[in-house]
Amino acid sequence: MNRGSIAAIAGRRLWVPHLSSRAWTVWRRDFDVFRRLFWVNFAVPMLEPILYLLALGFGLGLFVKEIHGVSYSRFIAPGLVSGAIMYGAFFECSYASFVRMYYQKTFDAIIATPVNLEEVVAGEILWGATRSAINATVVFFVVSVFGLTSPFFLLGILPLAFLGGLLFASFGMISTSLVPAIEHFNYPFFLFITPMLLLSGIFFPIEILPRALQSASFTLFPLAHLVKIARALMLSRLGLGLLWNLLWMAGVALIAFPLALYLMQRRLIK
Amino acid sequence: MNPLIFAQDLTKRFDSFTAVDGVDFAVYPGEVVGFLGPNGAGKTTTIRMITCTSPLTAGTLQVFGLDVDRHPRQIKAQIGVAPQENNLDPDFTVLENLITYGRYFRLPRKEIQKRAAELLEFVQLTEKANESVERLSGGMKRRLILARSLLNRPRLLILDEPTTGLDPQGRRLIWERIRALRQSGITVVITTHYMEEAEQICDRILIMNQGQIIAEGSPEELIRQHVGGEVVEVIPEDGAEQAILKEIEGRCPYQRLGEKWEIFVSDGTSVLERLKTRVRFTSYSIRRPNLEDVFLRLTGRDLHE
C-alpha cells in the first residue's frame, strides 16, 4: 500500500520519513565547505583546550591535590573532550544550520533536486556528528601531547564522539526547527548548554553534588553520561555499569533524531 | 499529445487564505508557457506544487504523468528549477556550486565536470569558473542559476521570475538563452510580472489573479480577445474631462492614468476624429494594444467600463 492511500484512509497526510544514502551528498557539501576553511576550523580551535588546561589544569589544579586518584589535569581532560563533542554538534546544527536554512536558502536549493528534506536534515545531523568527532580529535590530540591520556584511547573516543554528536546534533536541529529568529538560540544555549557544561561532572566529580541534583543531572543532561563514559575510557577504568550510560545516550539519540526530522518538516514544508 | 503538466482543480490553502483556488491547466511538450499575474496571484505557489516542494491541499497535479505527491523523486530528477530567490551556495566558487549541485542528482563526477564546462560556456561564465559567487553581479548570478538548473538535462525547466532585478542587458541575455533552449525542444514554464518578458518569450500565457486563472492564450490572442484593435491615447485640456466622459462612458472601455486617457476601440482613427470635433486635446495618438492593456483590463486596476 502506498503512502497516498494510507493517508487517505487516515483522512489526513501522514508523515513518514523517506531516507536514503542521498543524505551523504548533503554531508559532503558541508564537509567541502569545512575543508575550504581547514585551518580556521581545525587549528584555531586547538587553542581552546590548551587555554583550559593552562587555566584550570595547571592553574586551579595547583590547589586541587587529586580527584579519584589522578591529577586535576588528568581528571578534566576527558571532560574537555566531552565538552568539545557537545559544542561541535550543537553549534553546527543550531547556528550554522540556521544560517544555511534561513539566510543562504541552501535547503531550498537542495530540495529542488531528488534529495528530500528528511535527507537534508539527516545529512546535516550526520555532519554535526562528524564535527563532534573532529573537534574531539583536536582536543584529544592536545591532551595526549600533554601526557594526560594514552593516544590509543582515541579508538574508543571516536565512536563515542559520533554517538554523542548524533545526539547533540539532533538537539541542535530541534532548536533550529523551533526558533523564530537566530537570536532565540540564546534560550537553548544559556538555559541548557551552559548549565549542562557546568553541572555534568567536567570540572568536579558529579558525586559531590546533592543527591537530587545528581539525579537531575543524569536525567536531564546527556553530557553527564558522556563525561562518565569518556572519563572511564581515558583513565582506563571501564566497567559494565557504563553500558547503562551508553544505552541511555543511544536511546535519547534514537528519539531525538526522528523528532528533529519531523519538526524540520513541519517548519519548512508548507 | 500527452501533457507534461496536468492540473485539475488544483488548490492550495494556507490556514484560511486560499493561494491557488481550483485551477485547471495543462502544459504540452515543447511549449514555453508563462504564468503572468500581480504579486500574490498564486504563481509561485503553483510553481512550488509543480516542483514537489509544497503539498497540494486538493485537486490533481501530474508532471510527466506522475502524481506529484507520490513520485516526487522521479519528477524532480527530470525538472530544472531556477527559483525566484537567489539560493546559490555562497560558500563555494561558481564551478564548485555546479559540482555540488550535480551530486544531488547522483551524477558521476566526470559527467558533472563535462556538463559544468558546457553550461558555463552556454551562460558565458567560463572565465568566472573559479570566482566566489559572492563576487558575481546580479546578472551573472541569475545566469549561474540558469546553468545550475540545466545540470540534470531536464525535460522541463521552471523559471520563477528569472529576470527580476536585472538591468536591460542582463534581461536580454537571459531571454536570448531561453530562446536557445526552446530551440533545443525543452519545455519551459516561466512566471513573470513583466509584460514585455511574457510577450518576448512565451508561446502561451496563463494570467492569474487572486488564485485563479482568468485568461489563457498566445499574446496575440489575448490582445485580440480582451482589448481589441487599437488604443486611443488622449490628454484633454483642463476642464474638458466632462466632455470626454460624455462621449465614451458606456460606449467603450477606457482607463485613466493621471491626466492621460486610454480608450480601447476597434477603429482608432474614426473614434479620434469624432472626439476631436467635440473635445479639445493638448495631445492625442493611436497605438497598438499590448499585453499590459490586457493585464490591466483583466486584473481590474484603474479600469472603468
pLDDT digit string (tens) for B76-108? Answer: 999 999 998 899 999 999 999 999 999 999 999
Q: Are residues B144 and B17 in the same domain?
A: yes
Contacts of A2 in chain B (CB under 8 A): 70
Using the predicted structure, report yes or no on whether residue B303 has a pLDDT greater than 60. Answer: no
Which residue of A3, A33, A113 is in closest CB contact with B105?
A113
Confidence band, pLDDT 50/70/90 cuts, at residue B11: very high
Instruction: Give the C-alpha separation, B291 to B300, whole Å.
Output: 14
Give the residue from B19, B1, B20 showing the smallest Cα distance to B9: B20
Confidence band, pLDDT 50/70/90 cuts, at residue B161: very high
Using the predicted structure, report yes or no on whether residue B173 has a pLDDT greater than 60. Answer: yes
**pLDDT for position A13:** 61
B70 and A269 within 8 Å at the Cβ level: the answer is: no
Using the predicted structure, report yes or no on whether residue B158 has a pLDDT greater than 80. Answer: yes
**pLDDT for B44-53, tens place per residue?**
999 999 999 9
**pLDDT for B186-203, tens place per residue?**
999 999 888 888 988 999
Q: Are residues B28 and B111 in the same domain?
A: yes
Q: Are A81 and A139 in contact (CB under 8 A)?
A: yes
Which residue of A106, A114, A115 is in closest CB contact with B87?
A106
B77 and A22 within 8 Å at the Cβ level: the answer is: no
Does a structural domain hold residue B53? yes
Q: What is the SS3 assignment for A59?
A: helix
Does a structural domain hold residue B20? yes
Region of residue A68 (left: phi > 0; alpha: psi -120 to 50; beta: else): left
A112 and B51 within 8 Å at the Cβ level: the answer is: yes
**pLDDT for A68-112, tens place per residue?**
899 999 999 999 999 999 999 999 999 999 999 999 999 999 999
Instruction: Give the C-alpha separation, A210 to A199, whole Å.
Output: 12
Give the residue from B55, B83, B142 showing the smallest Cα distance to A109: B83
Does a structural domain hold residue B269? yes
Q: Which residue has the higher pLDDT, A165 or B254?
A: A165
CB of A253 within 8 Å of a chain B CB? The answer is: no
Would you state the cell numbers that stand for residue A85, as one nine-digit string? 563533542
Ranges A34-43, A45-54, B171-180, most confident: B171-180
- Indicate the residue among B223, B239, B255 that finishes a domain: B223
Q: How far is A3 from chain B (nearest CA, A)?
A: 7
Q: Are residues B259 and B153 in the same domain?
A: no
Give the residue from B38, B12, B10, B39 showing the smallest Cα distance to B22: B10
DSSP for B147-210, please give it: HHHTTT--SEEEEESTTTT--HHHHHHHHHHHHHHHHTT-EEEEEES-HHHHHHH-SEEEEEET
Q: Where are the alpha helices (DSSP H) in chain B?
A: 43-50, 72-77, 94-104, 109-122, 138-149, 168-183, 195-201, 219-226, 241-248, 268-278, 291-299
Q: Are residues B276 and B206 in the same domain?
A: no
Instruction: Give the Å distances, CA to CA, from A114 to A14, B104, B160.
Output: 20, 7, 19
Q: Are residues B215 and B241 in the same domain?
A: no
How open is the CA angle B57-B105-A93, to the nearest 5 degrees?
A: 75
Query: Which of B12, B45, B95, B100 to mutate to test binding with chain A, by most A CBs within 10 Å of its CB?
Result: B100
Using the predicted structure, report yes or no on whether residue B305 has a pLDDT greater than 50. Answer: no
Instruction: Give the C-alpha separation, A12 to B92, whole Å.
Output: 41
Q: How far is A32 from chain B (nearest CA, A)?
A: 9
In chain B, pLDDT over 70 holds for what percent of residues? Answer: 98
Domain holding B152: CATH number?
A: 3.40.50.300
Instruction: Give the C-alpha separation, B111 to B152, whole Å.
Output: 10
CB of A22 within 8 Å of a chain B CB? The answer is: yes
Using the predicted structure, report yes or no on whether residue A12 has a pLDDT greater than 80. Answer: no
Does a structural domain hold residue B299? no
Which helix or strand (DSSP H or E) is residue A173 part of?
A: helix A154-178
**pLDDT for position B300:** 65
Q: Are A233 and A148 in contact (CB under 8 A)?
A: no
Q: Are residues B252 and B219 in the same domain?
A: no
Amino acid at the residue A174: I
Ranges A237-241, B62-66, B301-305, most confident: B62-66
Contacts of A3 in chain B (CB under 8 A): 69-70
Q: Are residues B149 and B75 in the same domain?
A: yes
Q: Are B152 and B158 in contact (CB under 8 A)?
A: no
Using the predicted structure, report yes or no on whether residue A117 has a pLDDT greater than 60. Answer: yes
Domain that holds residue B118: 5-223
Contacts of B91 in chain A (CB under 8 A): 33, 36, 104
Report the domain count for chain B: 2
Q: Which residue has the higher pLDDT, A10 or A47?
A: A47
Tell me the backbone φ, ψ of residue B215, rounded to 5 degrees.
-160, 155
Using the predicted structure, report yes or no on whether residue A10 has a pLDDT greater than 60. Answer: no
Contacts of A22 in chain B (CB under 8 A): 104, 106
**pLDDT for B246-298, tens place per residue?**
888 878 888 887 888 888 888 888 888 888 888 888 889 999 888 888 888 78
- Indicate the residue among B208, B223, B238 that finishes a domain: B223
**pLDDT for position B301:** 56
In chain A, pLDDT over 70 holds for what percent of residues? Answer: 95
Q: How far is B37 from chain A (nearest CA, A)?
A: 22
CA atoms within 13 A on the CB side of A11: 0
Does a structural domain hold residue B146? yes
Q: Are residues B204 and B257 in the same domain?
A: no
Give the residue from A176, A147, A142, A154 showing the smallest Cα distance to A52: A142
In chain A, pLDDT over 90 holds for what percent of residues? Answer: 81
Q: Are residues B127 and B195 in the same domain?
A: yes
Mean pLDDT (whole number) for A190-201: 95
Domain holding B233: CATH number?
A: 3.30.70
Poorest-confidence range of A48-62, A76-90, B148-162? A48-62
Mean pLDDT (whole number) for B55-62: 96
The three-state (H, E, C) secondary structure of A239-259, written as one string? CCCHHHHHHHHHHHHHHHHHH
